[in-house]
């Protein structure tokens, strides 16, 4: 029986057939991203002139289930192509497909480390510990770190200041932040550089005079913009349902002071901005008339939250000039001891893993990056190693699924593996849910800014937006588009839900779909009935 042939959309064809550039595909749920990724793999593998062997592709995902699904879809599509064109090249690719590098990023890193273990001075029989084992080893390492710290006479005074009046419960107290910092550093390319920057910050007489101060100012500016966006949305919602004079209070006592602070920052008047934040008094939130109760509740809740967030900014050290006089020295001392605690924790945790001859997932990434990076590289200018150059020769094309979940270490691994122009990255920032484990969707967003929809103007990559949805009917998609276009803006969520993101139905309207389904069932039943009659005759 003949397999169903996929009917590609124009967007999908573009992502599948484009050559000579990196390709960034934005793909919401139900737009056929898995089919496109596997379709591009098959399209490339089928062309012997650009990819002589299926083992010359590298497909990376973030879960084992996704990797197996990808292998299955590639196999299915390659089989369909072979049925249409049964030549020896395609037959060989089908035979070799089980040996193709289609896996999670961590599985790929593990294979790489095991193959080149001698360059890393590792025991090749190492194991990989799971989450529960990590938690146990980290808890033991934290206990040993605290015991060690109390025995260090040079740290005792600073440690006492650090822990003074803090919650010291074992399970979720202040000291567990040491583990959180370690986990954060798993996604940092160089821990040593981070330690050095933290030490410089602690030593600085005025830490806010450094580039850290500029970053702190930007954080305040971003928070102010978020608050303003919330208030303006509430105002727009209210004025659509009632007269403008009903929300005059919102404009004057809520929106105006926030907008003024943003203007001060934009004009370089940081002192005036901080003064306005410090002197801000919470205004009264009124109950507008002529609105339904749900709208009134939403309006008041949004206004109160925005005011609370604005007032909370006064607690930022950057906003308080007396901070340097009264607290900076003490905070600098506490920062130093906290960094020393983190360093000791990392040492003890690493020793525990070494005793068991095991690595965790972060180790796999960092060892793989070390293997792929030349020894004379710097943080700002990393160069591929000989191993990386050999792998560049091997992997003619690279595919990355769920790209919104990538972190900076994984991205640097890709940079070392690819000379540019041969990567397909598929993702949807709206589906990024793994920030808690180090995912950095900003990496994808930044690359999308540099990409172009025209291949001739795409030195930063070709952008293809898949927005034709195959799962939902028009009514559902219209509702989704209406909601997302209101709440998703670049200033508020870093994403503009514009026309390119709007989902369009690939399916027909639901009533027509039901009617066609019923007609199809009726034809099938009639056919079966006719077969029975003919058989009886």
Structure tokens at 249: 């209070």
pLDDT at site 366: 96
Residues 96 and 29 grouped into a single domain: yes
Looking at residue 507, what is its pLDDT? Answer: 64
User: Do 225 and 177 share a domain, yes or no?
Assistant: no
Cα 310 to Cα 277: distance, rounded to the nearest angstrom: 7
Calculate what percentage of the chain has a pLDDT beyond 70.
88
| CB neighbour list of residue 141: distance below 8 Å, 6 or more residues apart | 345, 348, 349, 352
Tokens matching residue 527: 């056919």
For residue 329, the model assigns a pLDDT of 64
**Per-residue pLDDT reduced to its tens digit, 156-170:** 888 998 888 888 877
Across the range 260-265, mean pLDDT stands at 94
Q: DSSP label at 290?
A: S
Whole-number pLDDT of residue 325: 63
The C-alpha atoms of residue 468 and residue 30 are separated, in whole angstroms, by: 8
Q: Tell me: do 397 and 422 sit in the same domain.
A: yes
The verdict on residue 5 lying in a domain is no
Residue 426: band (very low, low, confident or very high) from pLDDT cuts 50, 70, 90 = very high
Q: Given 270, 305, 321, which residue is the final one in a domain?
A: 321
- Mean pLDDT in residue range 500-521: 60
60 burial level (CB within 10 Å; 0-12, 13-18, 19+): buried
Query: By C-alpha distance, which of 118, 182, 148, 115 is closest to 360?
Result: 182
Return the minimum-mean-pLDDT range out of 6-10, 165-169, 199-203, 296-300. Answer: 199-203
Res 526 pLDDT > 50: no
| Structural domain contains residue 429 | yes
Neighbours of 107 (CB within 10 A): 17
CA distance 166 to 365: 35
Other beta carbons within 10 Å of 444: 24
The answer on 24 and 43 residing in a single domain is yes
pLDDT band, very low/low/confident/very high, at 178 (cuts 50, 70, 90): very high
Structure confidence by residue, pLDDT tens digits, 287-332:
777 777 877 887 888 888 888 999 999 888 778 777 666 555 677 7
CB 90 within 8 A of CB 78: yes
d(CA 25, CA 9): 14
Q: Which pLDDT score, from 0 to 100, does residue 518 have?
A: 47
- Provide the Cα torsion 251, 253, 255, 259; round to 10°: 120
Among residues 299, 321, 343, which one ends one of the domains? 321
On the question of pLDDT at 514 being above 80, the answer is no
447 belongs to a structural domain = yes
Task: Report residue 463 as tokens.
Answer: 């952008």
Q: Are 329 and 317 part of one and the same domain?
A: no
Evaluate if residue 381 carries a pLDDT over 90: no
Pairwise CA distance, residues 145 & 139, whole Å = 10
My answer on whether 407 and 429 are in the same domain is yes
Is 203 in contact with 339 (CB distance < 8 Å)?
Answer: no
Q: d(Cα 45, Cα 518) in Å, to the nearest integer?
A: 41
Nearest to 210 by CA among 198, 194, 195, 222: 198
Number of domains, the chain: 4
Lowest mean pLDDT among 202-211, 303-312, 514-523: 514-523
CA-closest candidate to residue 332, choices 457, 492, 497, 207: 207
| Greatest mean pLDDT range, 114-123, 214-223, 500-509 | 114-123
Residues 230 and 158 reside in one and the same domain? no
Q: Are 277 and 319 a contacting pair, CB within 8 Å?
A: yes
Asked whether residue 137 is domain-assigned, the answer is yes
Q: By the 8 A CB rule, do 420 and 459 touch?
A: no
**Residue 508, token pair as written in the block:** 């027909």
Q: Can you give the CATH number for the domain in which 50 is found?
A: 3.40.50.300
Q: What is the pLDDT of residue 291?
A: 73
Q: Point out the least confidently predicted range of 43-47, 378-382, 392-396, 440-444.
A: 378-382
**Better pLDDT: 485 or 231:** 231
| 346 and 309 fall within a common domain | no
Instruction: Report, as an integer, the average pLDDT of 17-30.
Output: 91
For the cut 80, the answer to whether the pLDDT of residue 76 exceeds it is: yes
Residue 41: its pLDDT value, please?
95
Contact 54, 100 (CB under 8 A): yes
Distance CA 366, CA 187 (A): 9
The pLDDT value recorded for residue 285 is 82
Q: Report the predicted TM-score, pTM, of the whole model to 2 decimal places.
A: 0.80
Cα pseudo-dihedral 354, 359, 364, 370, rounded to 10: 0
> If pLDDT is split at 50, 70 and 90, which confidence band does 137 have?
very high
> Residue 525: its pLDDT value, please?
47
The total of other beta-carbon atoms located within 10 Å of residue 328's CB is 18
* Residues near 229 by beta carbon (within 8 Å), at least 6 away in sequence: 489, 491, 492
Give the CA distances from residue 197 to residues 266, 305, 334, in Å, rounded to whole numbers and listed in that order. 28, 34, 15
Residue 276 has pLDDT above 90, yes or no: yes
Query: Rounded to a whole number, what is the distance in angstroms from the first to the last CA of the chain?
Result: 28
SS3 398: strand
The string of pLDDT tens digits covering residues 322-378 is 766 655 567 778 888 999 999 999 999 999 999 999 999 999 999 999 999 998 887
Asked if residue 8 has pLDDT above 70, the reply is yes
Helices (H), 46-130: 64-84, 88-96, 105-115
Residue 251 has pLDDT above 90, yes or no: no
Task: Find out whether 451 and 462 touch, Cβ atoms under 8 Å.
Answer: yes
**Whether residue 383 is found in the same domain as residue 340:** no
pLDDT of residue 390: 96
Of 512, 511, 422, 495, the C-alpha closest to 28 is 495
504 vs 302: CA distance, rounded Å: 31
CA 164, chain centre distance (Å): 36
Q: Give the pLDDT of residue 529.
A: 38
Residue 422 contacts residue 51 (beta carbons within 8 Å): no
Instruction: Tell me the two tokens of residue 140.
Output: 């033991």
pLDDT at 264 over 80: yes
Same-domain pairing of 415 and 443:
yes
Residues 160 and 249 in one domain: no
Residue 200 placed within a domain: no
Q: Does residue 78 lie in a domain region?
A: yes
Average pLDDT of the chain, as a whole number: 85
User: Among the three residues 321, 342, 369, which one is the final residue of a domain in this structure?
Assistant: 321
Report the percent of the chain where pLDDT is more than 90.
Answer: 49
The answer to whether residue 534 scores a pLDDT higher than 80 is no
- Report if residue 504 sits inside a domain: no
What tokens were used for 429?
A: 């920032």
Distance CA 276, CA 259 (A): 11
Considering the domain architecture, whether residues 180 and 329 belong to the same structural domain is answered as yes
Band of residue 208 on the pLDDT scale cut at 50, 70, 90: low
CA distance 33 to 512: 26
**Rounded (10°) angle between helices 361-372 and 386-394:** 100
Say whether pLDDT at 79 is over 90: yes
Looking at the predicted structure, is the pLDDT value of residue 118 above 80?
yes
Domain with 230 in it: 209-321
Asked whether residue 513 is domain-assigned, the answer is: yes
| 3-class state of residue 420 by DSSP | coil
């Amino acid at each position: 029986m003949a397999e169903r042939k996929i009917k590609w959309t124009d967007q999908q064809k573009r992502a599948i057939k484009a050559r000579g550039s990196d390709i960034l595909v934005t793909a919401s749920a139900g737009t056929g991203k898995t089919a496109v990724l596997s379709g591009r793999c098959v399209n490339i593998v089928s062309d012997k002139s650009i990819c002589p062997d299926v083992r010359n592709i590298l497909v990376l995902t973030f879960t084992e289930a996704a990797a197996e699904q990808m292998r299955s879809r590639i196999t299915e599509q390659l089989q369909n192509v072979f049925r249409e064109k049964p030549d020896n090249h395609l037959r060989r690719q089908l035979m070799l497909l089980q040996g193709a590098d289609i896996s999670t990023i961590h599985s790929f890193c593990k294979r790489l480390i095991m193959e080149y273990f001698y360059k890393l001075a590792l025991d090749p029989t190492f194991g990989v510990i799971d989450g529960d084992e990590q938690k146990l080893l980290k808890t033991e390492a934290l206990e040993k770190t605290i015991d060690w710290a109390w025995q260090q006479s040079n740290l005792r005074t600073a440690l006492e200041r650090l822990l003074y009046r803090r919650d010291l419960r074992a399970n979720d107290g202040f000291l567990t932040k040491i583990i959180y910092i370690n986990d954060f550093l798993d996604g940092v390319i160089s821990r040593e550089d981070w330690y050095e920057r933290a030490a410089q910050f602690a030593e600085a007489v005025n830490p806010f005079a450094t580039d850290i101060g500029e970053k702190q100012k930007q954080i305040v500016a971003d928070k102010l913009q978020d608050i303003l966006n919330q208030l303006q949305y509430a105002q727009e919602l209210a004025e659509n349902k009632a007269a403008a004079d009903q929300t005059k209070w919102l404009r004057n006592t809520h929106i105006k002071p926030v907008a003024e602070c943003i203007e001060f920052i934009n004009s370089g008047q940081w002192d005036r901005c901080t003064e306005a934040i410090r002197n801000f008094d919470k205004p009264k939130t009124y109950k507008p008339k002529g609105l339904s109760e749900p709208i009134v509740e939403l309006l008041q809740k949004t206004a109160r939250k925005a005011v609370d967030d604005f007032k909370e900014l006064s607690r930022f050290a950057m906003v308080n000039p007396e901070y340097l006089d009264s607290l900076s020295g003490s905070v600098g001392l506490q920062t130093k001891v906290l960094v020393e605690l983190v360093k000791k924790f990392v040492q003890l945790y690493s020793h525990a893993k070494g005793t068991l001859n095991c690595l965790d997932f972060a180790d796999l990434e960092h060892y793989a990056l070390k293997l792929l990076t030349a020894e004379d590289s710097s943080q700002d200018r990393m160069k591929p190693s000989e191993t990386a150059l050999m792998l560049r020769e091997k992997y003619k094309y690279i595919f990355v699924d769920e790209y919104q979940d990538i972190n900076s270490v994984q991205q640097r691994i890709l940079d070392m593996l690819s000379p540019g122009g041969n990567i397909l990255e598929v993702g949807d920032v709206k589906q990024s849910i793994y920030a808690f484990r180090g995912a950095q969707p900003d990496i994808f967003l930044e690359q999308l800014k540099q990409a172009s929809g025209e291949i001739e103007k795409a030195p930063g990559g070709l952008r293809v937006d898949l927005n034709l949805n195959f799962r939902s009917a028009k009514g559902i998609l219209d509702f989704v588009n209406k909601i997302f276009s209101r709440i998703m803006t670049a200033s508020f969520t870093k994403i503009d839900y514009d026309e390119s993101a709007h989902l369009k139905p690939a399916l027909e309207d639901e009533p027509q779909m039901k009617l066609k389904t019923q007609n199809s069932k009726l034809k099938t039943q009639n056919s079966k009935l006719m077969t029975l009659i003919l058989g009886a005759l």
